[in-house]
Amino acid sequence: MNIEIRAVTKENLKEVLALDVSTPQKSYVESTKQCLEDAVECNYYQPAGLYQDGILVGFAMYGFFPGEGQKGRVWLDRYLIDERFQGQGLGSIMLEALIAHLVKLYHCDEIYLSLYDDNQCALHLYQKFGFKFNGEQDINGEKVMVKVV
């Protein structure tokens, strides 16, 4: 299996915009359209397509945010697997690849994310990879989790 994390470009934009999650998940994660609009407004965000064997199966948006803490923070801000590819273990496979990618890219020793704690599927996945609540909440009322790498 070949896993790739590719920047969103004009070549894959239409395909990225077609990614979607199941209806119950829509209240937990922004659409890729909204994510890309957010990335235009904030240049810290790096949107990326997640590929398995050359097929786009998911999306992530991450970045280094200076000024949050003494050394800044690396955030995995958005993460989704398209509903057509859910239930195949790709959430874990892609999250493992993303963590390795972020560590290599940013030389970080911590990765932050936030979620609504009633999002049980995502919570279970993140906990499986060692993310723990740190007692903070983000501006949207989501609870912050951190993984020490």
Nearest C-alpha neighbor of 114 from the set 13, 28, 27, 1: 28
| CA gap 149, 129 in Å, rounded | 10
pLDDT at 83: 96
| Residue where the block lists tokens 């965000």 | 45
CATH code reported for the domain at 3-148: 3.40.630.30
pLDDT at 67: 80
Q: Hey, which residues are catalytic here? A: 126
pLDDT at 61: 98
| Residue where the block lists tokens 């050359």 | 54
pLDDT at 70: 72
Reported as a single tens digit per residue, the pLDDT across 53-108 is: 999 999 999 999 998 567 899 999 999 999 999 999 999 999 999 999 999 999 99
Reported as a single tens digit per residue, the pLDDT across 125-141 is: 999 999 999 999 998 89
Reported as a single tens digit per residue, the pLDDT across 9-65 is: 999 999 999 999 988 899 899 999 999 999 999 999 999 999 999 999 999 999 999
